[in-house]
Amino acid sequence: MNLHPLGRTAVRVSELAFGAAGVGNLFTPMGDDQAAATLAAAWAHGVRYFDTAPHYGLGLSERRLGDALRGLPRDEFTLSTKVGRLLEPVPFHGGDDLANGFAVPATHRRRWDFSAEGVRRSIEDSLNRLGLDRIDIVYLHDPDDHAEQALDQAYPELERLRGEGVLGAIGVGMNQAGLPARFVRETDIDVVLLAGRYSLLDQRGLTELLPLAAERGVGVVIGGVFNSGLLADPRPGATFDYAAAPADLLARATELKTVCERHGVPLRAAALRFPFGHPAVAGVLVGTRSAAEVEDAAAMLRHPVPGALWAELKERGLLPHDIPTPQEVA
């Protein structure tokens, strides 16, 4: 699988990145064996960039990811985690964490903390859970309601750690484009992880963030290319941004699928390839929960997508006429 440099850094990421929320029991439980098999399949299919966070399963994702990666050559993969939510143990009286999206026992609580001290503690805790010697990329995780503290305290601490060589790159990870653009303008971050805002159905990232990232030499990793399911399988009941898709978006996704099939391209393949039309984009991050899903994602990313498909999508008004689209994949 192709590797791309991340902005101006020496950090490299595979075109397909592994989003590890699923192995943290996102929405439904998963056994250790299934998690291990899913991660092993990702490695076998050439994935060399793995992303996690303390938030994912109250640390379960980091522990499982560390278990999978510890026996592999450390210089051959890139690892990212996130800061902003500290995990604090609480008395366990039964119950789960599904209110926050994860099917794990509610043994900890999350506390927002974008202070310098919080950043240091979060990274130390993550390293302990991962059982690894370093983290390559650290993202500020969802600082939507904590922008000033993240800018004034968390970012400078990450910049200091980057200068000391403790980490290779600083990023911000969000599902909106406005605040990440501010980080690109006002700081020296290296990468933006943008979820759901640069897809076949939602191009809000193109308004300001992506052109600014390209201008400043900031790498972009795109998550949520399927918009939580609608672009994977557009049908009644499909979800868009984790809620039932509105009728107009379902109709648009169905039309996208029809055009893709006319060119012999699965909609999933077009959705995965589309972000690479923009020069700032280094990779796409997909959350997978089984070896079969990993294999499908890798196959879809390799699937040829002819230039005529992008042209027809523009002609039909399903994509803006001036949006950058990938070259034909041989």
- Tell which phi-psi region holds residue 3, choosing left (phi > 0), alpha (psi between -120 and 50) or beta: beta
| Helices 116-130 and 60-69, packing angle to 10 deg | 50
Per the CB < 8 A criterion, the answer to whether 112 and 146 are in contact is: yes
Buried/exposed 239-250: b ≥16 CB within 10 Å, e otherwise: ebbeeebeeebb
Q: Which of 56, 139, 155, 198 is catalytic?
A: 56
Letter for the amino acid at 178?
G
Q: Is 127 exposed, middle or buried (0-12, 13-18, 19+ CB in 10 A)?
A: middle
For the chain, the residue count is 330
Closest C-alpha to 135, from 180, 74, 94:
74
Instruction: Respond yes or no: is residue 56 known to be catalytic.
Output: yes
CB atoms within 10 A of CB 95: 10
Question: Taking the C-alpha atoms of 103, 18, 310 and 204 in order, what is their torsion angle to the nearest 10 degrees?
Answer: 60
Q: How far apart are CA 256 and CA 144, in angstroms?
A: 32
Annotated catalytic residues are 56
